[in-house]
């Protein structure tokens, strides 16, 4: 498999240094570091703006950069964007504000302190790393003391494998690898909705209940039509060998007195890889929980953990956690290079891992999946990310309100469907 060229524009080591006069707690137009947040808005043409909090650096003559290596923001450029932007220099605009982020009555609520511009040239950036800015920049002009902004702006190659489902995961589609204008089949999927399936293909020595991966519902009556369980999707390579799977191990059920899946009662999937040479036995690679968030935005909440097995015990390392709109969908992303990543510091996973598109509920969803090349050593590695992408996509359906019916492909024989 050949990857597609991608480049990542990284903005990191951000810090703001204010003039002494601006930090004194008296007078008008005062910025006091202990009470007033500062943030930066980053804008690159044809890309959505990004906002990041700015840490304050002591106002002194010390020119040393801030002690921070966390990426504050980044822009991902695919092959099409590289072709479009490599023929000309582009400008990264960085505007610094103080006050609350967001808008009130259509007007930005932050006060502009100043802005800087960094010229960026992406020519050849797909093959070698480049640095465009590294140091302090003035946020104003004139004789009066001005604020200073420290930032590092660099570009580095970020090649990725790109895959496209040929249909909705529940329709057992073919999965294609995309390379520019070419596509070729690399996997096929088989979806099943078996009410009696409880990860029946897991090895007998993997005790889900004792290790906490599966919740049981003892003492409850059979809730036919009030639970979604037994879904499984198996990924096959071109030779017909099963190379990955996603199995629903905890049913998606509504909370008592409700018709929605709550976080306290989340459904869960195991992402599985073959257990040795056996074609009927699996071992866990990851665990995905999903639920329906309450709040201003009706959202699909999720948490993904990497499962490690030492032979005696199993442990889970948090890899990704977030919320996406149930109505609009979004992207499921694993990337531990960004600031405030939920990835554990002892995680074996580094840098960009994957991103998968997810459509909102009720919409036709054919996920596109990007996977960083450093995380794919063989075709079976890529299949795991395909299975994970299918699981998060299917969770959008599993978390539909229980007052709504599912399409026929997702239903058991004793359940009603849309059709």
3-class DSSP state of 68:
coil
Q: Among the listed ranges 86-95, 190-199, 218-227, 239-248, which one has the minimum average pLDDT value?
A: 218-227
Could you tell me the fold of the domain covering 7-20+35-157? Immunoglobulin-like (2.60.40)
Of residues 346 and 119, more confidence is placed in 119
pLDDT in tens, 219-229: 343 444 578 99
E strand spans, 105-181:
107-108, 111-120, 130-138, 148-157, 160-165, 174-179
- DSSP 8-state class, residue 349: -
The residues, any chain, with a CB within 8 Å of residue 12's CB and separated by 6 or more, are: 68, 69, 70, 71, 72, 151, 152, 154
Token code pair at residue 387: 């299975």
Are the CB atoms for 385 and 369 separated by under 8 Å? Answer: yes
Share of the chain above pLDDT 70, in %: 75
pLDDT at 21: 54
The residues, any chain, with a CB within 8 Å of residue 83's CB and separated by 6 or more, are: none
Q: How far apart are CA 241 and CA 219, in angstroms?
A: 39
pTM summary value: 0.83
Closest CA to 51 of 85, 14, 87: 14
Q: What is the mean pLDDT of residues 337-364?
A: 75
The answer on pLDDT for 256 being more than 60 is yes
pLDDT at 221: 37
Q: What is the mean pLDDT of residues 40-47?
A: 93
pLDDT-based confidence at 217, cuts 50/70/90? Answer: very low
pLDDT-based confidence at 211, cuts 50/70/90? Answer: very low
Q: How far apart are CA 284 and CA 203, in angstroms?
A: 10
Closest CA to 231 of 396, 411, 376: 411
Q: How far apart are CA 150 and CA 15, in angstroms?
A: 5
Give me the chain's average pLDDT, please: 82
The answer on pLDDT for 212 being more than 60 is no
Q: Among the listed ranges 58-72, 105-119, 197-211, which one has the minimum average pLDDT value?
A: 197-211
Are the CB atoms for 187 and 237 separated by under 8 Å? Answer: yes
pLDDT at 381: 96
Question: What residue spans define the domains of the chain?
Answer: 7-20+35-157, 160-198+227-410
- DSSP 8-state class, residue 329: B
3-class DSSP state of 117:
strand
pLDDT in tens, 13-42: 999 988 765 555 444 445 544 445 789 999
Q: Among the listed ranges 33-47, 342-356, 398-412, which one has the minimum average pLDDT value?
A: 342-356
The C-alpha angle with vertex 277 and arms to 276 and 280, in degrees rounded to 5, equals 90
Q: What is the mean pLDDT of residues 358-376?
A: 94
CA 409 to chain centre: 27
The answer on pLDDT for 415 being more than 80 is no
How many secondary structure helices (H) and strands (E) does the chain include? 4, 23
pLDDT at 305: 94
pLDDT at 391: 98
pLDDT at 102: 58
pLDDT in tens, 268-314: 999 999 987 655 689 999 999 999 988 778 999 999 999 887 655 56
């Amino acid at each position: 498999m050949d990857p597609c060229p991608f480049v990542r524009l990284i903005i990191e080591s951000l810090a703001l240094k204010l003039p002494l006069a601006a930090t004194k707690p008296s007078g008008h137009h005062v910025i006091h570091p202990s009470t007033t947040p500062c943030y930066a808005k980053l804008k690159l043409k044809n890309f959505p703006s990004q906002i990041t909090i700015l840490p304050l650096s002591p106002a002194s003559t010390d020119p040393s950069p801030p002690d921070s290596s966390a990426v504050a923001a980044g822009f991902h450029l695919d092959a099409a964007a590289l072709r479009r932007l490599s023929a000309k220099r582009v400008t990264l605009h960085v505007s610094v504000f103080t006050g609350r982020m967001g808008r009130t009555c259509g007007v930005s609520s932050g006060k502009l302190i100043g802005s800087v511009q960094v010229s960026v040239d992406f020519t050849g950036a797909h093959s070698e790393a480049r640095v465009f800015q590294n140091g302090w920049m003035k946020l104003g002009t004139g004789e009066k003391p001005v604020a200073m902004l420290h930032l590092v702006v660099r570009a580095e190659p970020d090649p990725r494998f790109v895959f496209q489902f040929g249909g909705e995961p529940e329709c057992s589609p073919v999965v294609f690898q995309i390379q520019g204008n070419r596509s070729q089949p690399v996997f096929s999927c088989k979806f099943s909705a078996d009410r009696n399936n409880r990860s029946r293909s897991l090895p007998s020595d993997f005790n889900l209940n004792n290790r906490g991966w599966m919740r049981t519902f003892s003492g409850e009556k059979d809730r036919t039509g009030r639970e979604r369980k037994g879904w499984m999707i198996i990924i096959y390579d071109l030779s017909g060998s099963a190379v990955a799977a996603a199995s629903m191990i905890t049913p998606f059920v509504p909370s008592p007195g409700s018709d929605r899946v709550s976080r306290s009662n989340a459904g869960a999937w195991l992402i599985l890889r073959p257990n040795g040479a056996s074609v009927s036995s699996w071992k866990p690679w990851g665990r995905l929980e999903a639920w329906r968030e309450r709040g201003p935005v009706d959202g699909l909440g999720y948490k993904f953990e990497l499962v490690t097995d030492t032979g005696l015990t199993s442990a889970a390392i948090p890899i990704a956690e977030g919320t996406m709109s149930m109505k609009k969908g979004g992207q499921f992303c694993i990337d531990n290079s960004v600031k405030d990543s939920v990835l554990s510091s002892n995680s074996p996973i580094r840098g960009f891992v994957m991103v998968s598109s997810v459509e909102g509920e009720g919409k036709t969803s054919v996920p596109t999946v990007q996977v960083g090349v450093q995380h794919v050593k063989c075709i079976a590695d890529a299949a795991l990310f395909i299975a994970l992408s299918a699981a998060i996509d299917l969770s959008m359906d599993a978390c539909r309100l229980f007052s709504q019916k599912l399409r026929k492909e997702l239903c058991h024989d004793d359940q009603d469907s849309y059709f």
